[in-house]
């Protein structure tokens, strides 16, 4: 009975389930919290530099420590709340994260306006807070995590594969016909006299 050769020659493997949890980069919570908590200092420095550029007087730096102390007293808690909100929501340096950080900083610094004290100075400070939050978002917020293709699960060879491979090789070798040379036209030296005698008799 002819044995049918299997057509599948691929090596059989056993795939292990991938139980590795998805990679999630660590969010720099402390960096974001401290960075936005120092937003009043950064805003005061930015305003002081603008005043020096427009007035060309370096004596304004004398009042810089007093201005920083006043800014931290008034806007220190709103700045800390801004950093806490941003770090809790894990916003990144992308389009939506930058916009949310800017609006959060502006709204948290506008608490006197929310109490009904609307003035040009408070509106200007809200605008400065928005600009400061936007600049700090560029500096402090992390880059968005890149999406990576999941790694292929590890595979181990099937223990039955070597026996199957050797059986397939033996079957294929037995199925291939071996070329045999015709024996009628082959004569050795010892048969040469008999060959000449047979030719003479045929003539």
Q: What is the pTM of this model?
A: 0.56
In angstroms, rounded to a whole number, what is the distance separating the alpha carbons of residues 106 and 92?
Answer: 18
What's the confidence (pLDDT) of residue 151?
54
**Which range (28-37, 122-131, 148-157, 187-196) has the least confidence?**
148-157
d(CA 85, CA 39) in angstroms, rounded, equals 14
pLDDT-based confidence at residue 172 (cuts at 50, 70, 90): low
Domain regions of the chain by residue span: 29-140
Please indicate whether residue 3 or residue 105 has the higher confidence score (pLDDT): 105
Both tokens assigned to 166: 């050797």
| Region of residue 179 (phi > 0: left; psi between -120 and 50: alpha; otherwise: beta) | beta
Instruction: Determine the pLDDT at residue 88.
Output: 92
Average pLDDT over residues 164-188: 54
Q: Is 39 helix (H, G, I), strand (E, B) or coil?
A: helix
User: pLDDT by residue (tens digit) across 179-188?
Assistant: 554 445 554 5
d(CA 24, CA 192): 88
**77 in Cβ contact with 36 (< 8 Å):** no
Strands 13-15 and 155-157: antiparallel
User: What 3-state class would DSSP assign to 63?
Assistant: helix
Band (35; pLDDT cuts 50, 70, 90): very high
The more confidently predicted of residues 24 and 41 is: 41
- Identify the CA nearest to 137 among candidates 58, 57, 35: 35
The chain-wide mean pLDDT, for the chain, equals 75
């Amino acid at each position: 009975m002819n044995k049918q050769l299997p057509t599948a020659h691929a090596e059989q493997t056993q795939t292990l389930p991938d139980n590795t949890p998805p990679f999630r980069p660590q969010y720099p919570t402390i960096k974001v919290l401290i960075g936005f908590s120092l937003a009043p200092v950064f805003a005061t420095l930015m305003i002081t530099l603008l005043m020096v550029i427009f007035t060309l007087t370096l004596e304004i730096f004398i009042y810089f420590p007093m201005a920083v102390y006043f800014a931290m007293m008034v806007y220190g808690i709103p700045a800390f709340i801004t950093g806490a909100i941003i770090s809790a929501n894990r916003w990144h340096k992308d389009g939506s994260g930058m916009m949310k950080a800017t609006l959060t900083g502006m709204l948290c610094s506008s608490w006197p306006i929310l109490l009904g004290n609307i003035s040009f100075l408070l509106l200007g400070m809200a605008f400065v807070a928005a600009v400061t939050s936007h600049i700090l978002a560029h500096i402090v917020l992390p880059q968005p995590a890149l999406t990576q293709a999941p790694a292929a699960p590890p595979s181990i060879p099937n223990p039955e594969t070597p026996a199957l491979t050797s059986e397939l090789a033996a079957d294929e070798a037995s199925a291939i016909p071996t070329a045999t040379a015709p024996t009628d036209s082959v004569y050795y030296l010892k048969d040469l006299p008999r060959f000449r005698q047979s030719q003479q008799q045929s003539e």
